[in-house]
Structure 1
Amino acid sequence: MPSYRDEGLVLRTHKLGEADRIITLLTREHGRVRAVAKGVRRTTSRFGARLEPGGHVDVMFAKGRTLDIVTQAESRGAYGAHAVGDYAAFTAVSAMLEAADRLVVEDGEPALQQFLLLLGGLRAICDQGRSPSQVLDAFLLRSLAVAGYAPSFEECARCGAPGPHQAFHASAGGMLCPDCRLPGSARPSAETVQVLGALLSGEWPVVEAADPRHLRQASGLVAAYLSWHLERGLTSLAVMER
């Protein structure tokens, strides 16, 4: 039976039969992979604990007829388990895993940038101790950009007129100039728009120096932008303390 090896992040799991699970991973070389892990729900399983959501693993797959089969898994980091004791970190990690699963559309298609963004986000929360909420917002904006939905915060999203601008509309793609402004546009403060741009570009000194009210307003706009492009919000995002 042909086999292959890859590095992956466990996005979610589903029970299969009495002792198996279907594991969905975002891998470095093969994009999103759904595979069966046989016997992992038994207490005697060799690698069941390594294949929990948020796990970073080196994994060996055997090619199957419909789903591939996990034959070996070695842990490189248990980010989901690490975050369990911190509600803010756990919900942020859960939202990142859910978003990555939703933004990678096709199984088996390479998604290296999404993999690296997710791995970097998990490390920022669990290893570097950055604010879970701000890491999540930065991850969501960058992941949307990689998926082809890059928001515009410095120029008008419709006509390209240079900013700063005062109106934000999710369906239009970001900030809008006075001539392009649409009904129902939000009017974020200039400081909030600066935070959004810093989250997208990774300017952490700007983010960390921002006023909490501007961070909260930025989080609300990120959530609205994400919901528009995914056509519905993230389940994990609804239970976050923002």
Structure 2
Amino acid sequence: MQDFIDKALILRVGRFREADLWLRLFTPQRGLLTAFAFGGSRSRRRFVGCLDALNVVSFLFQPNKTGTYLALGEGNLLKGRRGLRKSSKRLGFAANCVKFFEAVHVEPEESEKSFVLLDQALDTIESEDRISPLFPMLFRLRTAFEQGYGPSLDTCSQCGKVLKTAVAPTLFVEEGRILCGECSSAGGRRVPLNGRVLSILEHVCRNTPEAWCSLELAGEDRRIIYDAVDSLVRWHLGLKWEDGRFLRT
């Protein structure tokens, strides 16, 4: 395997010897990677301002002779996110999104699209004046849809009626589909929806993260969205948020 250059978003950084660091990275071409920056904590030339979590960096990747690990030869900072580190609330939102993203298994063919989504989400959290408390949950929703786990939001999957104007649309979690009130299903976990919630879900899935900040969510709608997204993520992605991290259910 030859050396290669690729840009990467740094998800996590850790120390494993006095001067050496390991990095968990996500790249648009190769997906999730772990690489080692030997001497990275002391380097003043090879990694100037690069090795902080959430930065986007162009790295020179150097496989070892047996191809068992990747070393980082040098890095060029493309995007730093100092603004995130100035606000504990924004940093918490960013950390939640990154932890979820890392827990989801992204197929290589989906890497570029997923990279863009995460990068846009972090830009939004850093720069927008107002961020919805539901932003991390909306990010989970969009990520689930990007991975193919989202139900159709337009029409009842059984009779084809338009869901926004249908009576009592309901999400059937295990089946991963939404039915109108006139159609029945075998049962299982159900989340009652409404036209407003369906419009919000559609808005999130069809627009960039920057556009999510303008969403106005009533208390009941927030509860429904949280319940729907949490149920889909638990059942179809096998993940739950517990003790500050995502665990396999």
TM-score of the superposition, structure 2-length normalised? 0.79
* Structure (1 or 2) with the larger CA radius of gyration: 2
1:152-188: CA deviations, max 9, x gaps? 333335x363324521233222423331262431223
Q: Please, what is the CA RMSD of the aligned residues? A: 3.1
1:87-127: CA deviations, max 9, x gaps? 33222211221222222346x66610001111111111112
Alignment pair present for 1:209 and 2:208 = no
Question: In structure 1, what is the Cα distance between the partners aligned to 2:13 and 2:45?
Answer: 16
Question: Which residue in 2 is equivalent to 1:85?
Answer: 86
Alignment pair present for 1:179 and 2:184 = yes
Question: Which residue in 2 is equivalent to 1:199?
Answer: 204
Change (3 A) 1:112 1:235: farther
The alpha-carbon deviation at position 212 of structure 1 amounts to 4.6
Question: Which residue in 1 is equivalent to 2:95?
Answer: 94
The alpha-carbon deviation at position 207 of structure 1 amounts to 5.2
Identity value in percent: 20
**Helix, strand or coil for the counterpart of 1:33?**
strand
- The structure that is helix-richer by fraction is 1
Whether the 8 Å CA contact 1:199–1:207 is kept in 2: the answer is no
**Helix, strand or coil for the counterpart of 1:40?**
coil
The alpha-carbon deviation at position 209 of structure 1 amounts to 3.4
1:13-54: CA deviations, max 9, x gaps? 333233322211111222222111112234868537522221
Question: Which residue in 2 is equivalent to 1:188?
Answer: 193
Task: Using the TM superposition, name which of 53-62 and 145-154 deviates more.
Answer: 145-154
Alignment pair present for 1:156 and 2:161 = no
Alignment pair present for 1:230 and 2:229 = no
Letter in 2 for 1:72: E
The alpha-carbon deviation at position 138 of structure 1 amounts to 3.6
**Unaligned stretches of 5+ in structure 1?**
none
The alpha-carbon deviation at position 192 of structure 1 amounts to 2.2
Question: In structure 2, what is the Cα distance between the partners aligned to 1:237 and 1:133?
Answer: 16
Whether the 8 Å CA contact 2:130–2:213 is kept in 1: the answer is no
Whether the 8 Å CA contact 1:25–1:32 is kept in 2: the answer is yes
Question: In structure 1, what is the Cα distance between the partners aligned to 2:155 and 2:224?
Answer: 20
Question: Which residue in 1 is equivalent to 2:226?
Answer: 219
**Unaligned stretches of 5+ in structure 2?**
none
The alpha-carbon deviation at position 62 of structure 1 amounts to 0.9
Paired positions, count: 236
